[in-house]
Amino acid sequence: MAKIKYIEHNGKEHVVEVQNGLTVMEGAVQNDIPGIDADCGGSMSCATCHVYVKEDWHDKLPKKEMGEDDMLDQAYEPNSSSRLSCQIMISDDLDGLSVYMPEKQI
Amino acid sequence: MIKTDAVIVGAGPTGLFCAHQLGIIGLTCEIVDNLDKIGGQCIELYPDKPIYDIPAVPECTGEELINNLIEQIKPFKFNFHLNERVQELTNENDNWIVITTSGKRFQTPNVVIAGGVGSFEPRKFPTKSAEKFDGTSVLYSIKDKTIFKDKSVAIFGGGDSALDWTIELSNTSKVSLIHRRDEFRGAPASVQKIKELSEKNIINLFTNYSIKDVKGNGSLKGVEIKSEEGESKILKADYVLGFFGLIMQLGPIADWGLNLDKKTIPVNTKNFETNKKGIFAIGDICTYPGKLKLILSGFHEGALAARGCFKYARPNEKYRFEFTTASNTIKDRLGVK
C-alpha cells in the first residue's frame, strides 16, 4: 500500500492509498481522479496516462521498459520527467510519491 | 446517395464481426473508417502483439485476427470506405443520413457505432501559434512532396515517419530534424542514415529540443525550438512537419445527440441501441453495467446489435433465428454448399 498524491495541472491535489500490485494509472482511474485518460487500458499502446515525476523520485521508480520512451514521444509535451503511469507498479517503496498531470492528454 | 441496411462506423474487430452477423441474417452494410486501413486499434496500435483471450484461438496477433475477420466477411462483398470520418448524422423519415468528411452520403435505418475510443487523428503541436498555419505550412501528413522542393523544412519526431521523410526530403530540401531525446524509435537503418546525413551536414539534427513557437505573420518564416534547460534557437522554415503518431479522439460522435458517459455511449444490453432509435454502439465505445473492454465482448455486442438492426431494416418481416450449421439460407449467403 502506498499513499500517492495526484496533482492536476491546475494544482488541485488528490491523495489516495493505492494497493500494491496496481499501477499509478489504475490508482487514478479507480478513484475517478481526472487528468489520466488511459485510452488503451494499460497496455503501453498509447500515451494518455502521461505524468511527470520529480527528479528525486526517478531512481526509486521501476525502470522504464523498452518502448515506454517510444510511446512518450507521442505524448502531449513530454520531457525528461515524463512517465507512463500505467508502467509504474505500486509497492510500499512508493509511499509518498507525487505525480503531476500534464495540461491535457490528447 | 448510397442506400443500405446499416452503416458501421469503425472497421476494428467489433465492426467487422458485426458486419459478419448482418451478412448472416441477410442484411447489407457499408463500413466507414477514418484510418487508411482495416483493423482499428489491432492494426494501428498492436499489429504484432499476441492476444491470448479470443475464444478458441489460444494465441494470435492483432494482424492475424483482423486478416481472419476480413476473410470471414468476404462472401458478403461489403464495401469499405477508408480514410473517411463520419461527420454528420441527421434523421430523415425514419432513416439516418450519414455524411462523411469527403461528402459521401448514406441513407440507412441503422447506424452501428463501433468506434473504439474514437477516430485516430494525428497528434498536433501543443503551440497555439501553429494552429493558424495548420494545413498550409504546418502539416501532419504529406500528400504532395513536390511542394517542399528547394524549401526549408523543419521535421519534428523520432519515429519512422519523421526519419523516412527527413531522408526523402533531404534530396531536394534543406531539412532540420528535431527530436525531444537522443534516441530514435525508427528502424535502425534509418537512424544510421540520419546520423550520416547529419555528419555530412546535409541535414541539421537537433536532439533534446522541442517546439516552442512558430514564427511568421501570413506566411511561415521559422520555428523556435527549446531545450529542457530553457535554451532556445530559431530555425528558418517554410514548412513545419510534425510526426508524433496518432491519438484517439471522440470527434463528431459527441455532436450527434447521444447520451455520453465520459467518452463512452450508454446502451441497453438487449440490442445495444443507444438513446436514439436505430443508432447502436458496440465494442470499447459502449458502456453498460458490467461492461468489459474485451474483443470477445465486442463480438457478442455486434451479434445482438445486428438483430436489432433487422427490426428497422425489415419492418414487415419476422426475424427467424437460425444456426449456420443447419440453415441452407445462410449457407447460400456464405456461398457454401
For residue B158, list chain A residues with Cβ-Cβ distance below 8 A. 70, 73
Which residue in chain B is spatially nearest to A78 when comparing CA positions? Answer: B180
- Whether the ipTM is more than 0.85: the answer is yes
* B49–chain A Cβ distance below 8 A for any pair: yes
Q: Domain limits at A17?
A: 2-100
A77 lies in a domain?
yes
Identify residues of A whose CB sits under 8 angstroms from chain B CBs: 37, 39-41, 43, 45-48, 69-70, 73-74, 76-80, 103, 106
For residue B178, list chain A residues with Cβ-Cβ distance below 8 A. none
Q: Domain limits at B9?
A: 2-121+247-334
A67 lies in a domain?
yes
| Closest residue to B123, CB basis, from A37, A70, A74 | A74
For residue A37, list chain B residues with Cβ-Cβ distance below 8 A. 263
* B157–chain A Cβ distance below 8 A for any pair: yes
Q: Which pLDDT tens digit goes with each residue over B208-267?
A: 999 999 999 889 999 999 999 999 999 999 999 999 998 888 889 999 999 998 889 999
* B245–chain A Cβ distance below 8 A for any pair: yes
Identify the CATH number of the domain in which residue B281 sits.
3.50.50.60
Cell of B95: 432513416
Is the pTM of the predicted complex or chain greater than 0.90? Answer: no
Identify the CATH number of the domain in which residue A90 sits.
3.10.20.30
Query: Are B207 and B156 contained in the same domain?
Result: yes
For chain A, what is the domain count? 1
Interface test with B, best of A36, A39, A52 (most B CBs within 10 A): A39
| Region B1-19 average pLDDT | 98
pLDDT at residue B201 is higher than 90: yes
Q: Which pLDDT tens digit goes with each residue over B106-119?
A: 999 999 999 998 88
- Give pLDDT, residue B119: 85
Nearest to B225 by CA among B156, B128, B158, B138: B156
Element housing B215 (H / E): strand B209-215
A75 lies in a domain?
yes
| Region B126-140 average pLDDT | 95
- Give pLDDT, residue A73: 94
Q: How confident is the model at residue B45 (pLDDT cuts 50, 70, 90)?
A: confident
Q: Is the dihedral of CA B85, B88, B89, B95 positive or negative?
A: negative
| Distance from C-alpha of A1 to C-alpha of A95, rounded to nearest angstrom | 7
**A39–B248: do the CB atoms touch at under 8 Å?**
yes
A39 lies in a domain?
yes
| Distance from C-alpha of B31 to C-alpha of A24, rounded to nearest angstrom | 38
What is the per-residue DSSP string for B63-100? Answer: HHHHHHHHHHHGGGT-EEEET--EEEEEEETTEEEEEE
In degrees, rounded to 5, the angle at the alpha carbon of residue B202 between the alpha carbons of residues B199 and B203 is: 85
Query: Are B113 and B140 contained in the same domain?
Result: no
| Distance from C-alpha of B146 to C-alpha of B133, rounded to nearest angstrom | 19
Which residue in chain A is spatially nearest to B44 when comparing CA positions? Answer: A45
| Closest residue to A41, CB basis, from B183, B210, B293 | B293
Query: Are B211 and B145 contained in the same domain?
Result: yes
List all residues 6 or more positions away from B28 whose beta carbon is below 8 Å from its beta carbon: B4, B5, B6, B22, B76, B78
Q: Which pLDDT tens digit goes with each residue over B311-322?
A: 999 999 999 999
